Structure 1
Amino acid sequence: MSLKTRLQVASLALAAAVAASGADAHDTKGDAVAPAFQRPIPNTPGKSLTAVVVSYKPGGTSPPHTHAGSAFVWAYVLSGSIRSQVDDGPARIYHAGESWYEDPGAHHKVSGNASRTRPASLLAVFVADGDEKTLTIYDKDE
């Protein structure tokens, strides 16, 4: 089996594992979340590393949310521009190549595409307890 084929098979297996872990793909107000990677961290017992790609339609948004109580989140803008506000910090626009983080328990009040004409995407990487089943909790009033 070629290296390319092995990587494709591994990617599909990881996508299935991430979907089973609670990082399900969804489509809400113009965003789509797709699993990218999930794996226990071997030298940090009880912790796992999970990555998802969030793709926004032009003008698309994600509802306000928090993440699992154990989750440290790092977000990296892959394409376009993303508007983000975490906790009581200022709303800011991040462009491709820029990143931010969210501490465990942080409230992600604003997340969406800063452009109404072009799509945007980001990579969200979670370090969380390995037994966490739901990584994103949407506000109840959404």
Structure 2
Amino acid sequence: MLRKIISAAAFALVLAAGTQADAAGGKAKVTLVFDQKLPNVPGKSMKAVLVEYEPGGQSPGHTHPKSAFIYATILEGAITSKVNDGPEKTYKAGESFPEFPGDHHAVSKNASKTKPARLLAVFVLNTDETDLTTDDK
């Protein structure tokens, strides 16, 4: 089942020309690439975003909706992440990590100063959620 979800989201990357937003002064580009209500789970949707980091790029610390479960997969390069009070960890292409409802994503950055990095984040969350990320104040 999870393989089908990831495959559908990856396929959406190829087909979608989603909305785009910049974070961290243009050093990260976030594009919504998939948005689908779950027909067998009323009130829930699956959304996927492609996050593209320039060399040395990063996103500010942030949280996601309290209803959101997130599964992130590194597609290219390496990304350093820190969730809650856990250690900073660098994930390479092909590796993944979860974020659970209520988690704080303190660090999300390209581990390289010379090469780009990309990740696909797949969200399962309440359908009425419109803001996927709230930056720290």
TMscore range, shorter length: 0.7 to 0.9
Contact 1:37–1:52 under 8 Å retained in 2:
yes
Q: Take 1:119 and 1:102, find their aligned partners in 2: how far apart are those partners?
A: 23
Matched-pair identity in %:
51
Count of aligned residue pairs for this structure pair: 124
Shift of 1:25: 1.9
The answer for the alignment partner of 2:109 in structure 1 is 112
Shift of 1:28: 2.2
The answer for the alignment partner of 2:16 in structure 1 is 11
Shift of 1:65: 0.2
For residues 113-137 of structure 1, what are the alpha-carbon distances to aligned partners after superposition, in whole Å with 9 as ceiling and x for unaligned? 0000000000001000000111100
Contact 2:45–2:126 under 8 Å retained in 1:
yes
* Large movers: runs of 4+ above 3 Å: none
What is the Cα-based RMSD across aligned positions, in Å? 1.7
Contact 1:25–1:35 under 8 Å retained in 2:
no
My pick for the range that moved more, 71-80 or 25-34, is: 25-34
Match of 1:94 among 77, 88, 91: 91
Q: Take 2:16 and 2:99, find their aligned partners in 1: how far apart are those partners?
A: 26
- Normalising by structure 1, what TM-score? 0.82
List runs of 5+ in structure 2 lacking aligned partners: 1-11
List runs of 5+ in structure 1 lacking aligned partners: 1-6
